Amino acid sequence: MQLWSDEIEEMRPEARAVVAAGLAAIAEAFAGQGEVPADRREAAIHSRQAFAQTYGEPDPSAVDEEIAGVRCRTFRPDGPARAVYLHFHGGGMILGAPEMNDAGNRALADQHDVAVVSVDYRLAPEHPYPAGPDDGVAVARWLLEHGEAAYGSDRMLVGGESAGGYMAAAVPLRLRDVPGAIEHVLGLNLVFGVHDWGRSPSQRGLRPVEGPDMLTPDGILTFTECYLPGLTDDERRAPEISPAFADLRGLPPALFSVGTADHLLDDTLMMAGRYAAAGSEVELFVAPDMPHGFQAFPCGITSAWQRTVDAWIEARLSS
C-alpha cells in the first residue's frame, strides 16, 4: 500500500528542513510565555492565553454574526455563494478561536465562491463535552434551515483542523440523525482530527517516525482530561464521543489529511479505513515526515496538499 506518490517522496528532505526551522522559530516565540502550571486545568488556561497572541492581524472583511446563539466569524464571496463552508478551528477543545483561520477562510471564500462560517464554539475546561459539539450542531441546523436566505445556499461543506477536524466529523454524525439534513452536506474536510479520545497509539507516543511535532503525549493528555474529565479511556471511546468508533455508514464523501510525524496519525488512519469500509467515499492525503499543523510549514508537500484540497472542494461543489 503506497500512502504517497513518488513525487512527494522526493520532497521529503526539503520538508524535514522546513519543519526543523519552523518548529525552532515557534519554540522561540513561546519561550517568553512563562512556566506552564502543573495543574492541567490551569495549564489549559495558560496555553489559551499564550496561543491567542499568535493569531495575527484579523481580516477586516470578516463579519461577526450570532447564529443559534453562538458567535461565528463569517466571510462572503463577491458573488452568489455556491455553498456554505462550515468551519471549526483547532486547539484541542481548550484554546483557539475563529480569528486564527482568517487568512485561510478569506482565501477559501474567494477561490471557491463559498460563504464561510467559522464557529466560536465553547471550550473546556469551563465547558467540557458535549458543549462544543452542541454549539456546532446548533449552528449547522440553523444554516440548513436559513442558509439559503442568509447566505444564498442550503448546501454545506464541513471542515476543520485538529480539534476542528474532530468537530467536523462529530457534528455531521449527529446531523445524520436529523431527517433530511445529511443530504445537504456535500463533503467533510477532516484535517489531522482527533477521532479517538481514548488516546490512540500515536497519541501515546508510538509513532512510525520520530520527527519533531507540535503535539506531545502529555499535552494531548491535558486537553483530553479537560474536555472529558472523570472518564476512563474506554469510556472516552463511546461512539457519541469518538468518531472513529461510531457507525460511519450514510455519510458524505470525506477528505482525510495527516502527517506521519503527527501524534494524531493513527486517529486519521483508523477513521479513514473505517469510513471506507462503511461504504462512504474517502480520499486520503498522508504527508511523510510532516508534523501536526503541517500547513504552517510551506514546502513542496504542503503545496501538493493544498492543490489536493482545492481539487476536492471543487469536485464536491460540482457534484
Q: Percentages helix, strand, coil for the chain, rounded to the nearest 5?
A: 45, 15, 40
DSSP letters, 155-189, are: -EEEEEETHHHHHHHHHHHHHTTSTTTGGGEEEEE
Of 102, 120, 262, 267, which residue is the catalytic one? 262
Residue with cell 445529511: 182
pLDDT band with cut points at 50, 70 and 90 for residue 88: very high
pLDDT digits (tens, 9 = 90+) for 256-308: 999 999 999 999 999 999 999 999 999 999 999 999 999 999 999 999 999 99
Of 162, 200, 202, 242, which residue is the catalytic one? 162
Active site residue 89: no
CATH topology of domain 55-317: Rossmann fold (3.40.50)
pLDDT digits (tens, 9 = 90+) for 95-146: 999 999 999 999 999 999 999 999 999 999 999 999 999 999 999 999 999 9
pLDDT digits (tens, 9 = 90+) for 168-198: 999 999 999 999 999 999 999 999 999 999 9
CA 5 to chain centre: 24
**Whole-number pLDDT of residue 31:** 65
**Whole-number pLDDT of residue 95:** 95
Active site residue 146: no
**Whole-number pLDDT of residue 37:** 84
Q: Work out whether strand 156-161 and strand 185-191 pair parallel, antiparallel, or are unpaired.
A: parallel
Of 87, 112, 263, 292, which residue is the catalytic one? 292
Q: Is the pLDDT of residue 90 over 70?
A: yes
pTM above 0.85, yes or no: yes
Active site residue 87: no
pLDDT band with cut points at 50, 70 and 90 for residue 32: low
**Whole-number pLDDT of residue 222:** 94
The greatest distance separating any two alpha carbons of the chain, rounded to the nearest whole angstrom, comes to 51
The stretch 69-82 carries a mean pLDDT of 97
The mean pLDDT value of the chain amounts to 95
